[in-house]
Amino acid sequence: MKTTRYFQEQVLRKRPYLVPEWCAGVLAAPLKRVAQPDGRIRWWGRVTDPRDGRERVLRLVTLEDGETVHNAFFDRDYQEDLP
C-alpha cells in the first residue's frame, strides 16, 4: 500500500491503532467513494476495531491516483444513503 509522508509521520503517530490491512480492505471494497474538488478521493468502509470488538466506519483520503493513502480516521458521523 502506498502512503504519503504525512500519513507515515503524522497520521500513524496520532492514531497508532490504525491497521494497514484496514486501509487496503476499504480501498478494495468501499461502502462509498467520493471525489473532492481538489482531486483527492474520500473512501468509507467498515472495519472491526480489535480494541473493543465494535464495527466502525473508517474514512480514508487518497491522492488523485486513488491508491496513495494520505489520511485515515474513524468517521463517527457516517450515515448510509437512504434508498
Give residue-wise pLDDT tens across range 45-81. Answer: 999 988 888 999 999 999 999 999 999 999 998 987 6
pLDDT at 83: 43
pTM for the whole structure: 0.88
3-state secondary structure the chain: CEECHHHHHHHHHHCCCCCHHHHHHHHHCCCEEEECCCCCEEEEEEEECCCCCCEEEEEEEECCCCCEEEEEEECCCCCCCCC
Domain assignments of the chain as residue spans, ordered by start: 2-74
* Torsion, CA 71, CA 76, CA 80, CA 81, rounded to 10: -80
What pLDDT, in 10s, does the model give residues 7-23? 999 999 999 999 999 99
Beta bridge pairs of residue 47: 56
Q: Quick one: pLDDT band at residue 82, thresholds 50, 70, 90?
A: very low
